[in-house]
Structure 1
């Protein structure tokens, strides 16, 4: 089922004025509520369990609803799988798509995206918000742990879950040893050595330092055209534009791998990526002033990192610790289990159902048959494509390794259970 074409910029000018009047009068709009109900029904089939179009939803909340600019609304069309968050505090780029460097900007931006209130009116309280910046910092500290991992040679915060052998079955250690060799041959070039491998703690991978001298893990961001997976999400930050006139944005953020300073101001055709980063920074800066947090405290709460942003147009290859627990796979959740992920795209299911909690310990993913209350994922739809990241013979975009035999696939799966 395709998304209904419900972009607000296509509605009649008079209806746009009605929406604006409703918002001015009561702070809410019946028209927008009706649109939201229809969109929610459509998104149930487009996103479904375990997935949502996070960035477009945040953009709609901040730049369409909070800013009272309905023409900034776009139909969510780039669903992603909910990312796992263990170890991510220590990545150079902490956002799942490699677009945000500073943990506080990531966390406060997500808070705004799930409807924390922010004042974007032209008054003395502009950028005042209900974002609990101190609580976000406390949560981030819990996730990150008590000691910098490169120094400790381990992660002391939230750890990847261990395969529960008492529940899902004993790991075949002999077969896993064969899989470890396959991992080193075919996987670690992008996903790095396993975290229990001394090679993982090489300065080669931990070459970046934050402003407190702590080393951060630099991960590869693979261009969408090279990895061959669905490109929709990789284009959101690169392509989306927003009207920010009258919002009072006037701040410097930082851009790209080198963190080059970039002045952000109001514009009728502004970059969504950098404007969102600027609004979030203005919001956290307001909170810091409001609560008397000086520069040293701000540095600490910001994770000793600048608000550096990028629209990389690719996907981050993160370490695979705990990968067994993160089905469905690929950034958009279009592959149901590890066995399908290690197979050619032609062997992956075209349609399957999300929301079943019954786990398949052999293929490593959730059961995917049709049942009441589940949502269908149709990989033929834009944003849902399941190609790329393929092990098959030949050369070309999306082929990352040779065709694996069934025995090799099962050996590699057995090893991935150990991570």
Structure 2
């Protein structure tokens, strides 16, 4: 009896074991879609990838067959099933003999915004198990497995300036540069190198080691950008070259141009007005007011106007035009100023910069006729008459001396 009992127990255990191993599912095999031949890590999945998945189903029973095998996957975020089978997310296998296997194929898409993590996929297999023979003995079998697929986010960078002020030629401008990780993965061993041009470059360190930068975080670096004096107005780039190690262990590089504006600035003390000359003329005074450009940027469309005294020709305005660096020009006015009384005049200069922005400079001058350079116009007959008189006197004296000498000799 004990032997029979033990034999029955063994048969029961064997039956349970054989029934439990009648259906099995291997771990999914996956490859990124469109991966190139010979790629080092074709099974490394990143956000935005399409992934091919193969699931192997095995009939482990030695004496039972499987039919109407249905394999269904139920992915969670960030996966989306793509239709490659008649029914989305479901693959069918018609029949599996004892010990036979077959593979179900699926394709999924990974959301572009998925951060680095392991994400769940449920695989459910249902089948009808039966024995070949005269009397059908069918039984439904169901097996569910849960798998976690690793997704490796990718760091993506953007660079912003805290204040994008124009840079004046021959001057440096402090730049606060923010580098932000807008991607889905952490950048490790992050290095930033800034490279300028012959016209616009960085003063001081150009390479910065930033350690690591997680998604949606940023770091600040401060540098000085310098534009050489001959740099013309325009947009110039400083290239930010970035190198890092991704969470998947791969090396990445990126180059981002930082566009900076170079704009010549006209400083308040750059245009210089001065009184260049005053001289008496018939009817008043001739006054010369000069303008000098003491900066590196051009003064454009300069107009000089005076007020405070009567202009003999009713022409108070002089158009000077454009003045380059260290250039000067002047306006000459004929004013009704008489006697020794001092007269104040106001000179108003209007000019434009390269961007047609208008500026105005007002300056007062005091005219003192006592200090004027008096010059008589026309031929100086007084001087000529004086020369003639002196010549006549000299001739008379010479004749007298000659006559006296001749008398003494006789």
Q: Which TM-score band (shorter chain)?
A: under 0.3
Radius of gyration: which is bigger?
2
Larger relative helix fraction: 1
The TM-score, its normalising length taken from structure 1, stands at: 0.16
TM-score if structure 2 supplies the norm length? 0.16
Q: Which has the higher strand share?
A: 2
More relative contact order in 1 or in 2 (CA 8 Å, sep 6+)? 1
